[in-house]
Structure 1
Amino acid sequence: MNLTLTGTADACSPVATHAIGQEAAGTVAATLKALADPLRLRMLSAIASDPRGESCVCDLAELADVSQPTVSHHLKVLKDVDVLTSERRGTWVWYRINPSRRSAVTALLDSFAPATMTAPSEDGNSEDRDIRPDFDIRITHLADELAAEIPELAPETVLSIVRESYTSLARTAKVTGALVPLTERFARQRLADITRDRNHSVPQVLFVCVANAGRSQLAAALVNQIAGGKVIARSAGSSPAEIIHPHVRSILAEIEGDAAAARFPKPLTDDAVRAADVVITMGCGDVCPIIPGVRYDDWAVGDPALASREGVEAIRDDIEGRVRALVNELIH
Structure 2
Amino acid sequence: MGSPSQTAPPFVHLAAHPLRWQLMTALARSDLRVRELVALLDQPQNLISYHLRLLRDGGLVTAARSSYDGRDSYYHLNVDSCAHALTATGAALHPALRPDNTTLAPLADVQQPPPTVLFVCTGNSARSPIAAAQLRRHTAGQVAAISAGSHPKSQLHPHAVRVLRDHFDVDIAGQQPRHLDTLTDRRFDYVITLCDKAREFCPDFADPAGRLHWSIPDPAAGGPDDYPAFVRTAADIDSRVRHLLPVLASTDAKELKP
TM-score category by the smaller chain?
0.3 to 0.5
TM (norm. structure 2) is 0.47
Which has the bigger relative contact order, CA under 8 A and spacing at least 6?
2
Q: Which has the larger radius of gyration?
A: 1
Greater helix share, 1 or 2? 1
Using the size of structure 1 for normalisation, the TM-score is: 0.37
